[in-house]
Chains A and B, each alone.
Chain A
């Protein structure tokens, strides 16, 4: 581009300044400040911050509520991806190789494109809407509770519960809601991967008399495994969040006895309900460490040089 050498640097500067400036001010600089704030006892009201070293971190260690939140995050981190990926693989294989029409040996089921459109929809919904709807799914029968009403309608009235009033159910309800919201995305993702598998591989497997299950295990799964791995990392990062769902469905305190609490909500609560910004930042650092550990762990396990996430 010798012809354009003239004026190259002013151009680069003009083009980079807005994106880099906004990014640095609103995203990078907060991350840098967070570490410093986490070592202060700042209430946000004073101009000066007292440096207290690692006191906030010691406090975290002794904070039972935070331990609940951390435990819940770990549950989300493990269970949501496993459930979501298994269901995603299951439905994707049903959609793409589930049907067996006369002409082709292996075919997708009828209406599979409609299923994909429907399954994917929760992915584009605001989590706020998901949370509100599911607050009513698990509400008591006389307050609209869909689940209880359905249970009664099909003769399983004995199973009805005050779902959101039972501490030990809360995090599992969050697991279900998140899984509900994410599965469709992975069905579409895995479907795309499965459709790129050549049909004659399936025909060969079929001729060899392999059953559906064997075909899935020996043909489909290995060929989409790359996509599953990438999906896994992405899912793990997403599962760290859960803020909108917990905040709206269970409230800012994490529901009954705080037992549905997650780290994101704990940060928000410490900062904006208790004005303990130093402590909130310290929990943020904990979350960073957790996220980085997962990312590095996955990159290690998957031995992929470039794992990129959205």
Chain B
């Protein structure tokens, strides 16, 4: 009996201690900082180098104009994963993601940003753009110059998995868009063509993309993993990648002697930015967050974007040296070829979408 009571007491005490410990750890680490401003910028992978520099410049500007010490915390990761984190409570004051679709998802599923977020800033809230190009090995041994060269029998193509990588979705849509525009004789808008023509072109595009994916030996889960596979492991003859990522790889992976090849036609990739109203209102940082994003459109922001191999919206602010590096590519937008991100996603990347069908068919036909 006595033992029973004792053990009960002990039990109570230990469980109290455990609960207390858990409560303590949950509260101990959160303390807001007064006297200084801190904002969290949640971004996707390829922007690290650019924002690192931009943050310093903006913090200087903010100190000069508002006499406040600003710290911009950065979080980088896959675009979709970052969007999910923000939805679930990662306290982002501003976000910049690879696809508008990811911010749309935040707006659609939560009250964090208004539905019309994309019209709050100029140029579809994309202060800079990029496009999809190729990286090949030194001397371009397989003579790859345009999309058609990627469906040759002896060419291996490296591109990440569009199911897990936002960047890879741009790659996929670039291929598809190219095939469509070829079928529609140049950059004809789908709206301008007749229903039958579009259906036929879509079918041809499907066949083209399917053929291309027969040349894809593996699908890395992220864009930079794919670049590493191509450069370091020496697998594949051509890597499909963002233009700014290609330049960065040429620079950082110089020892692998890669070369950039721009196709004749490609997609205009528009990474978008916005501020998260729910957070900035609560923390009183709306003006700051807004200014942070608006200054991306100002000369300094545009110049830095160009220096980091993005395509500035306002080229007049960028250095000529930076602009001259960019290839002359005919660009189509998501709206031109797919209507909207929503539609593109629905057609290609949902379960049972074109990507899934292509893999099932290639598998059945015994394609490698």
| A and B associate | no
